Chains A and B, each alone.
Chain A
Amino acid sequence: MPDLDVHPPHLYPAYKSTILRSPTRPLLLVPEHLRDVSMPVFGESVLGEFDHDLTKNARVNGEPIGERIKVTGRVMDQQGRGLANVLIEIWQANAAGRYVHKAEIHDAPLDPNFLGSGRVLTDAEGRYSFYTIKPGAYPWGNHYNAWRPNHIHFSVLGHHLEQRLVTQMYFPGDPLFAFDPIFQSTPVPARELLIAQFSMDHTEAEFALAYMFDMVLNGHRKTPFQ
């Protein structure tokens, strides 16, 4: 039986912002019969033509700079059943480690052809894929010489409220794992679940390396969706 306790604690003092922003009292467990059955569903028609391709959806006068990659995987419940029609929203820094955000202060160049936003819906088997540029590492103010490992942010709307997940996908072998309190906040045995795997099978010849990142959402109850 694997250890199912995978989530970081609310308070993790090495990540300083948690100190004033985490609840201090135990959470109240909602009885199963009082949980909600469904989350909102989005139709395929809501997606823009290039929402799944971050290398194309903000082009102004050329291609974005950096290493083009494909990210693909499957979203499933804890019994391994694929979850269809799940909205995955994506955001990330550019190849230089710079975010297109007004509060960003890192002295690295913006890329006029890269925004760093995307979204996809999973197919009938729970599969998704998108193209992007491999994000760079960036410094942050948590402590002296603090750097975030390369990562892509995901927001996932599953079928139930308890399947509402926000997470980050990391890349294999990053030397910054040992120094990043956000990654380190995750229980040791569960950290591997946050790291994508390089996939030669999905790598597209002459085009893009591929990384596999499966996501498992809370729950194993019968789904109301067929």
Chain B
Amino acid sequence: MAHLLRETPSQTVGPFFAYSLTAEQYGYPYTSLMNHAMVSDQTPADYAASERIFIQGRVYDGQGNPIPDAVVELWQADPQGHYRLAPIGPRNGQPGFTGFGRMGTGTLPDGQFRFTTLKPGVVAGANAAPYINVTLFMRGSLRGLFTRLYFSDEVDANAQDALLNSVDPARRHTLLAHREDQNGQLTYTFNLHMQGDNETVFFAFAP
């Protein structure tokens, strides 16, 4: 392999990210380019028949306490299985569906995060099941952590999914978001556990 440059090392996001990364959610006087709404209030016409869903959960530390200073990012395909390629923007415009969301866990009770989005479709050629990429940063984490959210009600598709099938069967449940209908809102709960019996499966991109 050709001579490769060394990557810039990762460092922790620390405790004080909110007035930049999630400023509007926390009430700081700075605009945000992304937040917990991954789709505009009015569902874009192209996706009128798609399911509008909420993704909620918490991040738990090794003692089972919810972590109130994490940043969770979601990135997903649209209901037709396509990642957005068009630039997001302009600022304060109507982005429609972005598929990208970010939320800090310091604004809702007990470190909850809650995103609004559309249920993703299956990405052609890549996977058998719909999923959402989840990225996690927090104080006490020296590196970003990557995992995937799969849907509990996609039993048949999940059974065919190559990556999910590569996970130890005893740990697959840590990647499943559980469907509930809460007051008519289709809600999937996805809790992340840093340690313990239910420790979330995290992924790496390089050995």
A binds B: yes
Q: Which residues of A contact B (CB under 8 A)?
A: 1-4, 6-10, 12, 15-25, 27-31, 33-43, 45-48, 57-58, 76-80, 85, 87, 89-91, 93, 99-104, 115-119, 153, 155, 161-162, 164-168, 182-183, 185-187, 190-191, 193-194, 214-218, 220
Q: In the complex, which residues of chain B have a beta carbon less than 8 angstroms from the beta carbon of A191? A: 9
In whole angstroms, how far apart are the Cα atoms of A24 and B193 in the complex?
Answer: 11
Whether B137 pairs with A29 at a CB distance below 8 angstroms is no
Contacts of A218 in B (CB 8 A): 7, 205-206
Q: A173 to B31, alpha carbons, bound, how many Å?
A: 34
Q: How far is the CB of B95 from chain A (nearest CB, A)?
A: 10
Q: Report which of B12, B143, B201, B206 forms a contact with A28, defined as CB distance below 8 A.
A: B201
Given A37-B83, A43-B88, is A17 in contact with B6 using a C-beta cutoff of 8 Å? no
Let me know if A76 and B29 touch, CB within 8 A.
no
Q: B62 to A164, Cβ gap below 8 A? A: no
Also in contact, A25 and B33, with CB within 8 A (given A46-B91, A185-B142): no
Instruction: Determine the distance from Cα of A7 to Cα of B11 in the docked complex, in whole angstroms.
Output: 8
The answer to whether A101 touches B18, judged by C-beta atoms less than 8 angstroms apart, is: yes
User: Do B9 and A6 have beta carbons less than 8 Å apart?
Assistant: yes
Chain A contact residues: helix, strand, loop or mixed = loop
List of B residues within 8 angstroms of A30 by Cβ:
163, 203-205
Which B57-107 residues have C-beta < 8 A from chain A? 61-63, 67, 69, 73, 75, 83-91, 98-100
Residues of B within 8 Å of A117, CB to CB, are: 19-20, 23, 28, 30
| Interface range on chain B (Cβ under 8 Å from partner) | 35 or more
Residues of B within 8 A of A10 (CB): 141-143
Consensus secondary structure, chain B interface = loop
Tell whether, in the assembled complex, residue A167 and residue B10 are in contact, meaning their CB atoms are under 8 Å apart.
Answer: yes
What is the chain A residue whose CB lies nearest that of B100?
A: A40
28 contacts between A and B (CB under 8 A): A4-B6, A18-B140, A18-B142, A20-B61, A21-B140, A23-B145, A30-B205, A31-B163, A33-B126, A36-B83, A38-B85, A40-B34, A45-B90, A46-B88, A78-B6, A89-B21, A115-B28, A115-B29, A153-B17, A161-B75, A162-B146, A162-B206, A164-B73, A166-B11, A182-B12, A185-B142, A193-B9, A194-B8
Minimum C-beta distance from A92 to chain B (A): 9
A103 touches B3 (CB 8 A): no
CA distance A78 to B7 in the complex (A): 7
- Measured CB to CB, the residues of B under 8 A from A are 2-21, 23, 26, 28-31, 33-34, 61-63, 67, 69, 73, 75, 83-91, 98-100, 126-127, 133, 135, 137-146, 162-163, 166-167, 194-195, 199-207
Contact assessment for A100 and B194 in the assembled complex, using a CB-CB cutoff below 8 Å: no
Question: Which of chain B's residues have a CB closer than 8 A to the CB of A45?
Answer: 89-91
Q: Please indicate the chain B residues that have their CB under 8 angstroms from the CB of A93 in the complex.
A: 16
Q: How far is the CB of B123 from chain A (nearest CB, A)?
A: 8
A45–B87 Cα distance when bound, in Å, is 10
Given the interface contacts A6-B9, A29-B207, A115-B29, does A164 sit within 8 Å of B144 by beta carbon?
yes
Report how far A190 CA is from B203 CA in the complex, Å. 23
Contacts of B8 in A (CB 8 A): 6, 165, 167, 193-194, 214-217
Q: Which of A28, A39, A119, A153 contacts B75 (CB 8 A)?
A: A39
Q: Which residues of A contact B21 (CB under 8 A)?
A: 89, 91, 155
Q: Cβ of A37: which chain B residues have Cβ within 8 Å of it?
A: 83
Complex formed: what's the CA distance from A26 to B28 in Å? 37
